A and B are shown apart, each in its own frame.
Chain A
Amino acid sequence: MAPWLARLHDLNPRWLYLATGLLMIVPFVILIPMPAGTPSRATQGLYDAIESCPPDKVVWIDSSWDQGSRAENEAQLECVVRHLCRQHIRFVVTSVGITPFGPEFADRTIKPIAEKAGYVYGRDWVNTGFVQAPTPASLALIINGLARDFHSIRPADVHGTPIGDLPLMQKVRTIRDIHVIYAITYSPAQEWISFIKGQFGTPVAFGCMSIMAPSYYAFLDSGQLCGVLIGNRGAAQYEALIGRPSLGTRLSMAQSFGNAAIILAALVGNLGWWAARRARRKAP
């Protein structure tokens, strides 16, 4: 057994950090063409739900993410907003609980896309801002309250304009005016399923971090979730469906190499550990 192999066990972590950093930077510098893959049923479900939106209804997006989960949530919001604008579907944005920075990040992501598509704020889309919900129970009650009467829970939008003065919100009062709800955050709360899908039957879809995806498969199987965008992979698949590869595609490439770095680190560590153990056993 080569003695250098055993040295991998005590590899200076700085080399590991350097390799990880380089591996994740490379896809941003060099364009590496890779297959986008067949859209999963989770991605296709959300796409189909939005495609079937009738003209008299709107899509409710709950965008409750900030810098902490921006790496995956931003692309998930971007691709869906692009799709909505292409289909001329109007939408309402909320940030229920989770983070007070939600409305700011949603605005920064949506505004350029909406303006480019000729969407007018107040007429075609509205950002109703942050609603405080510190516990899961209060989150459930606020979701329920918004579904029953949007105007009483959010009397003003994020800019302080009375919600009744916005042309779009004059037509949107209750859950009956909503076609589908798309909640994007690190790990969307299951209260959306119980209090929206369970109570009113309105389809619910999620956009979540890849790491949180395992907990939502049961709801996809049961039909309680119509779709889930899983991390950047989900966003990349959605971008392929709307025919516009963008942020999700680029980021999923970087994620590919990041994941590979983790697997390689585990392999190197195990190889070194195994070699060191053998060397110790053979030593007199």
Chain B
Amino acid sequence: MTRRVVWMITFVGGLFFLLEFLLPEQAPDWLGGIKNPLTPYLGGVTNFLVVVATMAFLLGPFILVRRHVGTLVRRRQGWLESLVFVVFLGASLLAAALREEQVRSALSVLYDALFFGVLMAFFASSMALLAFYLASAAHRAFRVSSLEAGLMMAAAAIVLLGQVPLGDWLTQGLPKSLQLASVAQWILGVPNTAVQRAVMIGACGGAFAAGFRQWLGLGKGAA
């Protein structure tokens, strides 16, 4: 029964959005110039979607809090990490919800310290580490052991240098068509685009089939 209800909602929702999208904004004059009758409801239906998505968004923090509070109360292994999580979550919520944007207060200082001082610093550090991982991976894993690997290495080097000013500087004495930027543009614009188009056409066909199956309830686990 529940599955049937879910399927019905999926089908009706899909039908609504499909028809609203396919029907023109206004019919031609010889058809009476009627406006799309579904458009006035689009805002409401889309807002319903946002509400459902927000509920799903809340589910993650809710599960995390339940798990970490449980660990903390029972003093299980890792309770100290759970304490850090609960304290930071509580402080962030408090500072974000109660601070006034235009007024400099203790809460706005706390908000800035947590958001820009802690969270953003962590974010930046973890992202910056990627540069070092990349250099390490290039040194240890990228082996020119065959013609194909050599071609790939050459293409990668040209594109890497052709997209930065260093490439322009290195080849500025050469004719324009031989400069790294021009060769990189050719690699990206011709062979790359051909492959991207082929991949996209295949992927879109698959996505269309998967969407159609889900809409009609033909997928695995449907009613």
A-side residues, CB < 8 A to B, are 11, 13, 16-17, 19-21, 24, 34-38, 40, 66-68, 70-71, 104, 131-134, 137-138, 141-142, 144-145, 148-149, 152-153, 159, 199, 210, 213-215, 217-218, 221, 230-231, 233, 236, 252-253, 255-263, 265-266, 268-270, 273
Nearest CB of chain A from residue B98's CB, rounded to whole Å:
14
Nearest CB of chain B from residue A74's CB, rounded to whole Å:
12
Assuming A67-B124, A132-B53, what are 17 further A-B pairs, CB within 8 angstroms?
A16-B135, A17-B132, A17-B135, A17-B136, A20-B132, A34-B165, A36-B165, A67-B123, A71-B127, A134-B57, A138-B49, A144-B46, A152-B47, A199-B21, A217-B196, A262-B134, A265-B139
Q: Which residues of B contact A266 (CB under 8 A)?
A: 138-139, 142, 153, 157
Q: Is B223 located at the chain interface by the 8 A CB criterion?
A: no
Q: Which residues of B contact A148 (CB under 8 A)?
A: 39, 42-43
For chain B, residues 169 to 204, give those with C-beta under 8 angstroms from any C-beta of chain A: 169, 172, 181, 185, 188-189, 192-193, 196-197, 200
B-side residues, CB < 8 A to A, are 17, 21, 39, 42-44, 46-47, 49-50, 53-54, 56-57, 101, 115, 119-120, 123-124, 127, 131-132, 134-136, 138-140, 142-144, 153, 157, 160-161, 163-169, 172, 181, 185, 188-189, 192-193, 196-197, 200, 211
Residue among B56, B161, B197 making CB contact with A218, cutoff 8 Å: B197
Residue among B166, B192, B193 making CB contact with A260, cutoff 8 Å: B166
How many contacting A-B pairs (Cβ < 8 A)? 156
Nearest chain A residue, comparing its CB with the CB of B39: A148
A153 to B56, CA, bound (A): 19
Residue among B17, B53, B136, B157 making CB contact with A133, cutoff 8 Å: B53
Nearest chain A residue, comparing its CB with the CB of B56: A134
Nearest chain B residue, comparing its CB with the CB of A232: B164
Nearest CB of chain A from residue B148's CB, rounded to whole Å:
15
Q: Are A269 and B139 in contact (CB under 8 A)?
A: yes
Q: Which residues of B contact A24 (CB under 8 A)?
A: 131
Nearest CB of chain B from residue A45's CB, rounded to whole Å:
14
Q: Give chain B's interface secondary structure class.
A: helix
Question: Which are the 9 A-B pairs with shortest beta-carbon distances?
Answer: A152-B43, A67-B123, A256-B166, A145-B46, A269-B139, A256-B164, A34-B165, A266-B138, A265-B139
A270 to B43, CA, bound (A): 58
Nearest CB of chain A from residue B6's CB, rounded to whole Å:
15
Q: Are A259 and B43 in contact (CB under 8 A)?
A: no
**A233-B163, A263-B157 given; A214·B43 CB < 8 A:** no
Q: Are B17 and A259 in contact (CB under 8 A)?
A: no
Q: Are B160 and A263 in contact (CB under 8 A)?
A: yes
Q: Are B160 and A142 in contact (CB under 8 A)?
A: no
A260 to B167, CA, bound (A): 9
Nearest chain B residue, comparing its CB with the CB of A230: B163
A90 to B188, CA, bound (A): 34
Nearest CB of chain A from residue B37's CB, rounded to whole Å:
14
Residue in B17, B47, B53, B164 with the greatest tally of chain A CB atoms within 10 Å: B164
Q: Which residues of B contact A145 (CB under 8 A)?
A: 42-43, 46
**A34-B169, A217-B192, A256-B166 given; A141·B139 CB < 8 A:** no
Residue in B124, B135, B167 with the greatest tally of chain A CB atoms within 10 Å: B135
Q: Are A144 and B136 in contact (CB under 8 A)?
A: no
Residue among A17, A20, A35, A230 making CB contact with B168, cutoff 8 Å: A35
Nearest CB of chain A from residue B116's CB, rounded to whole Å:
9
Residue in A19, A71, A199, A256 with the greatest tally of chain B CB atoms within 10 Å: A256
Q: Are B42 and A144 in contact (CB under 8 A)?
A: yes
Q: Are B165 and A269 in contact (CB under 8 A)?
A: no
Q: Are B168 and A34 in contact (CB under 8 A)?
A: yes
- What are 20 residue pairs bridging A and B, where the CB atoms are less than 8 Å apart in the complex? A16-B139, A17-B132, A20-B132, A35-B172, A67-B120, A67-B123, A71-B127, A132-B57, A134-B56, A144-B46, A148-B42, A153-B46, A213-B163, A218-B197, A230-B163, A261-B131, A261-B135, A266-B139, A268-B139, A269-B142
Q: Are B163 and A231 in contact (CB under 8 A)?
A: yes
Nearest CB of chain A from residue B172's CB, rounded to whole Å:
6
